Amino acid sequence: MSLITPHGATSLTPLLATGQRLAELEAESATLPSITVSSAAAANAVMLGAGYFTPLKGYMNRSDALSVATDLKTTDGLLWPVPVLNMVERFDGNLGDRIALRDPNVDGGPVIAVMDVTGIECLSDDDMALMTREVFGTDDPNHPGVATFSSQGQILLSGPIEVLNYSYFQSDFPGTFRTAMEIRDEIESRGWKRVVAFQTRNPMHRAHEELCRMAMSDLNADGILIHMLLGKLKAGDIPADVRDDSIRTMVDHYFPENTVMVTGYGFDMLYAGPREAVLHAVFRQNAGCTELIVGRDHAGVGDYYGGFDAQTIFDERVSEGALEIDIYRADHTAYSKKLDRVVMMKDAPDHSKEDFVLLSGTAVREMLGQGIAPPPEFSRPEVAKILMDYYQSLDQ
């Protein structure tokens, strides 16, 4: 039995150049006009290069972007939940140009990709408003995804790209950053067939840990892919290196061998809630996973989305057969004092609020910052120690 088929293709279509082609592009890029792209556009290039955005060939044009925003489909009918764009404030080139795209996140601005410019379009204010409203569900400039999206410029450059490198992700996270191809290869080498993906931009506490166990048991899965975002986050989020350390510590102490792969991917967080949940499903299918855990407020921020909007979008907006990956729907999880274990709260109808250990993220951050470990029912002590050290270092 082979692994699940990539999205919209029979095999992955990574856009990273290698070998002789890479050498040719590096030489050519030195002679090309260049522009420095946004962090979001650079992250899109990394995801295109690493096979996660199979079967896309580059940046979308206006018609595809608007179609994706309104209908979750490209103009040729491919399910895609979020426009993949290269927006700039100005462009002095011409249609048909080949240009070098420079990385804003690496010192010296090295070339991250070479692009054939097949479209130069000016997005109107109405276009921007429509995409913002549809993708993020709000036009509030305080929403971190909206703020990032609206700050990139309104000149849309579209066209195919070839990617030269994976930005800072490979050098900064050599033990964690993996391409979709590498994850598929490791899944096959482990002999796994049924693989559940867990998306995270945060450290994992007891509820997250047990949720992975529940999904693995309920689905009779061979393994869990803990797949963490390594790119740009909003202020206040835990940095990727601290998160990586805490997750690996949890896995090493509390999961049996050959049941968990800890990996990461090079993308900036969108905080787009339901739309981002569908995007997460697309690139977990491309990475070879058969299920994705979607829990409460998946990829959300603040109070912009309903608790389970990221689950219902798969029923309401994703047509039958558009994705091969399935969704494992998780409810609120919490530690039950009655049962002495983490449960999904819907499975404990005889419990009152007092029967659960419930802590807000704010309360946990305050405890950690004061050097107070959260209760062991909430956070493993080994994980709490790493996070306490981090929060206390902020006060130095």
Catalytic residue among 133, 190, 201, 213: 201
Measured distance CA(14)–CA(46) in Å, rounded: 10
**CA-CA distances (angstroms) from residue 146 to 129, 139, 151, 263?**
10, 7, 9, 28
Measured distance CA(276)–CA(310) in Å, rounded: 8
Number of other residues whose CB lies within 10 A of the CB of residue 73: 17
Catalytic residue among 190, 194, 202, 329: 202
Concerning whether 201 is annotated as a catalytic residue, the answer is yes
Judge whether 226 and 251 are in contact, CB under 8 Å: yes
Question: Left (φ > 0), alpha (ψ -120 to 50) or beta: where does 302 sit?
Answer: left
Kindly state the greatest CA–CA separation across the chain. Answer: 70
Judge whether 251 and 380 are in contact, CB under 8 Å: no
Point out the residues that are catalytic.
Answer: 201-202
